[in-house]
Structure 1
Amino acid sequence: MRSDRELYADWSQGNKAAGAELFDRHFPAVYRFFRNKVGDDFEDLVQQTFTALLESKDRFRQDSSFRTFVFAIANNILRAYFRERRRDRLEFTDITAHDLHPGPSTIVARAREQQLLVEALRRIPLEHQVILELFYWESLTARAVGEIIGESEYTVRNRLRRGKELLRRHITELETNPKVLESTLGGLDRWVKSIHEGIE
């Protein structure tokens, strides 16, 4: 199988087949990245990400992971999206996906625990939501996540810890059924990881 770097180089030279193969390879992850954050606009942002990817060939460092590069572009697209909708100063440390799209998530989860987590994720600051989803859903290391968001591995680990604390708080506020609450909090890592399998 050809590497991402080889396909990207060929795509940058006009090889549409190479671009299509890269799209098929990375579309599911980019789709997941936007699905629980931007309401019905996620498809447009996925397209913007791949367009920006083609236009950013000169910025790709050969010593870095191509997958990390893709997510870094997606993260920049996400930030630009929220800036357009907030005329005041945007801070990912404060704003949440729920602030701009107050309705329920469009993700349909199979279990109540999963649906509860999806809604709780939308209520924590975007900087924490992005980190948690990249870490759990995409199985990226703290170092790789740091490259994507432009922060140190130490900072990412601190935000992971803080993000899980906030997630637990919102889960407790959202759920009234003691059994569901116990199941969700008791298996938090497992439930968070399981969500991405059902995102379609």
Structure 2
Amino acid sequence: MDVSDSELVERGRKGDRRALQLLVERYQRRVLGVVVGMVRNPEDAREIVQETFVRAFRNLDSFKGDSSFYTWLYRIAFNLAVDVQRRDAKRTNVEFDEMQPPEDAPLAMGGRTQGRDPFETVRNRELGEKIFRAIDSLTPDHRAVILLREIDGLSYEEISQALGCSMGTVMSRLHYARKKLQAKLRELL
């Protein structure tokens, strides 16, 4: 039987460590995928995800349930990722070639394959690198809406809640982010 997020949160508030572990298992990969898409550094991404869960569990009492648990969790991760991006803007950025996507990343985003045609694998990896470059060229706000909508599949309303902005702002950012991505991908392809 699949236990709901709200039930796990309630049990977590009462000190049930197993409930908290189930929430980590349920959302860790999703949060990691989005965070890697934002910061492009696997070590930073793992630290952000860990800190996201630490802060979420420390502040479970502040989760009101107005949005989904994942949306609330994503909001924490997004804020931490933006902090890391600001910090990294002051330092030298990691070269694109040094970055490795998470193992469960989609194939077009550089994920690993098993039993596939090696030429198809190379073509898909090259396409993934071009997509990464295009996404990297976006502002953090535009990158966030693209990742949440196109990679994570969230609705406009969920994105609005996660980012703390209106649905109109989400739609506008998504529109401009897609236009910028199309232009950048035309250059790269």
Match of 2:127 in 1: 113
Residue 52 of structure 1: which of 39, 51, 55 is its match?
Answer: 55
1:62 is displaced (CA, Å) by 2.1
Aligned residue pair count? 164
Q: Write the deviation string for residues 138-165 of structure 1: whole angstroms up to 9, x where unpaired.
A: 1111121111111110111011010011
Q: CA RMSD in A?
A: 1.8
1:167 is displaced (CA, Å) by 0.6
Identical counterparts, % of pairs: 24
Match of 1:103 in 2: 96
In structure 2, what is the Cα distance between the partners aligned to 1:70 and 1:128? 19
Matched letter for residue 103 of structure 1: F
In structure 2, what is the Cα distance between the partners aligned to 1:33 and 1:5? 22
Residue 78 of structure 2: which of 75, 89, 96 is its match?
Answer: 75
Residue ranges of structure 1 left out of the alignment (5+ in a row) = 88-98, 176-200
1:86 is displaced (CA, Å) by 4.3
Match of 2:17 in 1: 16
Q: With structure 2 as the length reference, what TM-score do the two structures score?
A: 0.79
Residues 134 and 181 in structure 2, CA contact (< 8 A), matched pair in contact too: yes
Query: Is 1:43–2:46 an aligned residue pair?
Result: yes
Runs of 4+ in 1 over 4 A off after TM superposition: none
Q: Write the deviation string for residues 84-137 of structure 1: whole angstroms up to 9, x where unpaired.
A: 3346xxxxxxxxxxx843423422244133332122111111111110110111
In structure 2, what is the Cα distance between the partners aligned to 1:53 and 1:125? 26
Matched letter for residue 25 of structure 1: R
Q: Write the deviation string for residues 33-55 of structure 1: whole angstroms up to 9, x where unpaired.
A: 11133213111111001001101
